[in-house]
Structure 1
Amino acid sequence: MMEAIANGWFSELQNDLWPGQAFSLKINKIIHEEKSKYQDIKVIETSTYGTCLVLDGIIQCTTRDEFSYQEMISFLPLTSHPNPRKVLIVGGGDGGVAREVAKHPLVEEIHQVEIDERVVELSKKYLPNMACGFQSPKLKLTIGDGFAFMKTHENEFDVIITDSSDPVGPAVSLFQENYYQLMKKSLRPGGIVCSQGGTYWLDCEHVKNTVNSCKKHFPTVAYAHTTVPSYPCGHIGFVIGCADSNRDLKTPIKKFSKTELDDMKLKYYSSDIHSAAFALPRWVEKSFLSI
């Protein structure tokens, strides 16, 4: 973890993940900080990005732009499945993914496993517009390890969403091949997984390795991306795998009308955005990913 707070600015200085660059936000005050059992947690009030959650020196979300990430990691897999009735969320302690998954009309049951209960508690206190996801009657929250949970829940879920922090600290294992193998065993036939997949602008080799880990266990794999200004490079990607070899992940099965999107209070996702999210720059597609 490397960070700096000086002269009214918070700066991400995580050299291992984005060497040679930093990202800074002007802050009004530090609302809360503590060391939990698993990680360093800060909640910061910024001057232009609202409330910001920082874990181990890395910005996880801000109230200004969090919806882009939350909507895309949720609705990309949900709308690619014909009947996503039962969903598992691994991570997502701020509640944002739960908030979005609960909006989908076909989702009946959501299980969420978050390892750090302090992230949940602090999000309820300081990020209520995200943590409202925990109030859904569809949701059952378990504080614990996602690996252990899935080992006892095989062949149960239609969609599994992994909302992890970057591959440092407790989240490292969520980017490895055995994790994709475990997710596949927990899926029903034709199920879909979607995981935070990093950005090709910072470490294309890491993205490629994550995609290849998914490919070893899923016949259909794709990489999509979205814009999140408070993330490094303003960009983040998602690795999506499907157990159905005939599924076209780039075209949503369920296409919501504008009225439906408004009713669900979606601000970023649409069917057009869905398809566009899979379009990759030529240098990425040709030289590194080829998916």
Structure 2
Amino acid sequence: MDQIRNGWFSEIADLWPGQSFSLEVEKVLYQAKSAYQDVLVFESKNNGTVLVLDGIIQCTQKDEFSYQEMLTFLALCSHPNPRKVLIVGGGDGGVAREVVKHPMVEEVVQVEIDEKVVIASKQLLPFMAKGFDSPKLTLNICDGFEYMKNHVGEFDVIITDSSDPIGPAVNLFTENYYGLLKNALKPNGVISCQAGTVWSDFPQVKQTMENCKKHFPIVNYATSSVPSYPDGQIGYMVATLNKSLNLKKPVFRFTEKQVEELELRYYNDEIHSASFVLPNFVRKHLS
């Protein structure tokens, strides 16, 4: 709440010093301090409902679909048979909403550490939290690290929908975490993780990629446009244990009818491949 001044919320964080992103606030809908973080939900003037954790915007109603769809389908559509999926984090329900759309997915397990985020999202972000209503989904309020330690070799795809590397999410960017992901996957499994932006936090992106490469033979970085995130862009780290798999080419392709019926607003086959095309300075330093 101390980041709201004169009717404007301003995202100010050490992760991107010297810059700020602001939204005009119509009404504060929810404020709470959980055991892990500060949770804030407000109605903005132009971006709809906004979820903020520890002072950092997690999603806005206007543009959340870009992030949710890309984080989900870059992984699911790269796997030839994604029957069982694990979601780590994603307490707003957005990734769950997208995962259950994939016609080959039969079972989804989600582990979220902060129940207050789930409660707030169900009440105030129903357009995202409807993902929790699917019969395919089992939601567990627990520590994702501990869960994966006890579930080895179970999942075809694991999607990590984390906040930025501060607070409770900091451990989701470490080498140890990617080791846990590897062990929880079936042979030839695929992962997808939020991986930051090269414009504001290139060293963190590079370190995250290096941490993952210690456990996965194929690791790629993709991007999409999300105007309410720092610099208007977010990155995705997609990796696989299958050395013969080309993550940049989807093996599953939605038909035009499916795109309409499933209400895919950002992801398509061309976007999948194009998202891995990187500027020269990024290719050079991530290679």
Normalising by structure 2, report the TM-score.
Answer: 0.99
Letter in 2 for 1:93: G
Give the Å deviation of 1:206. 0.7
Question: Is the partner of 1:201 in helix, strand or coil?
Answer: helix
> Are positions 1:279 and 2:273 aligned together?
no
* Cα distance, 1:257 vs structure 2: 1.7
User: What pairs with 1:233-248 in structure 2 (closer than 5 Å)?
Assistant: 233-248=231-246
Cα distance, 1:3 vs structure 2: 5.8
* C-alpha distance 240-3 of structure 1, shift in aligned 2 (>3 A): farther
Aligned-partner SS, 1:99: helix
Tell me which residue corresponds to 1:200.
198
CA distance in 2, matches of 1:209, 1:139: 32
The aligned runs of 1:8-87 (5 Å cut-off) are 8-14=7-13, 16-87=14-85
| Residue 148, structure 1, aligned to residue 146, structure 2 | yes
1:280 alignment partner, SS class: coil
**SS of the residue aligned with 2:254?**
coil
Match of 1:289 in 2: 286
Q: CA RMSD in A?
A: 0.9
Structure 2 distance, partners of 1:242, 1:38, is 31
How big is each residue's C-alpha offset from its partner over 1:174-196, in whole Å with a ceiling of 9 and x where there is no partner?
00000000000000011001110
Supply the AA of the counterpart residue of 2:276.
Answer: F
Gaps of 5+ in 2: none
Fraction of identical pairs, as percent: 61
Within 2, Cα distance between the matches of 1:226 and 1:127? Answer: 22
Partner of 1:224 in structure 2?
222
| Structure 1 residues 121-200: aligned runs within 5 Å | 121-200=119-198
Q: Residue 103 of structure 1: SS of its match in structure 2?
A: coil
SS in 1 for 2:57: strand
Q: Give the Cα–Cα distance (whole angstroms) in 1 for the partners of residues 223 and 281 of structure 2.
A: 15
Structure 1 letter corresponding to 2:4: I
Q: Is the 8 A contact 1:93 1:120 kept in 2?
A: yes
Amino acid at match of 1:218: F
Residue deviations 1:30-63 (CA, integer Å, cap 9, x gap) = 1111111110010010000000000000000011
Letter in 2 for 1:235: Q
Q: Distance in 2 between matches of 1:121 and 1:29?
A: 19
Residue identity opposite 1:66 in structure 2: E
In the TM superposition, residue 29 of structure 1 has moved relative to its aligned partner by 1.3
| Equivalent position to 2:90, from 74, 87, 92 | 92
Q: Pick from 244, 247, 250: which aligns with 2:248?
A: 250
Question: Which runs of no fewer than 5 residues in structure 1 stay unpaired?
Answer: none
- Residues 194-227 of structure 1 show CA distances to partners (whole Å, capped at 9, x for unaligned) of 1100000001111011111111101111001111
- 266, 271, 274: which one pairs with 1:268? 266
Could you list the per-position Cα deviations for residues 222-242 of structure 1 after superposition, in whole angstroms to 9, with x for gaps in the alignment?
A: 001111011010110011110
- Residue aligned with 2:3, SS: strand
Aligned-partner Cα distance in 1 for 2:262–2:27: 33
Return the offset for 1:7: 1.1
- Name the CA distance, whole Å, in 1 between partners of 2:107 and 2:169: 25
Report if aligned partners of 1:92, 1:164 keep a CA contact under 8 Å in 2.
yes
Task: Tell me the number of residue pairs that the alignment of Structure 1 and Structure 2 aligns.
Answer: 287
Q: Distance in 2 between matches of 1:135 and 1:208?
A: 37
With normalisation by structure 1, the TM-score equals 0.97
Corresponding residue of 2:5: 6
Asked if the contact 1:113/1:144 (under 8 Å) is kept, the reply is yes
SS at match of 1:207: helix
Quick one: distance in 1 between partners of 2:148 and 2:60?
A: 30
Q: Give 2:107's aligned residue.
A: 109
- State the alpha-carbon separation in 2 of the partners of residues 145 and 216 from structure 1: 23
Separation of aligned partners in 2, 1:230 and 1:124:
22
Distance 2:198 2:283 in 1: 10
Whether the 8 Å CA contact 1:3–1:11 is kept in 2: the answer is: no
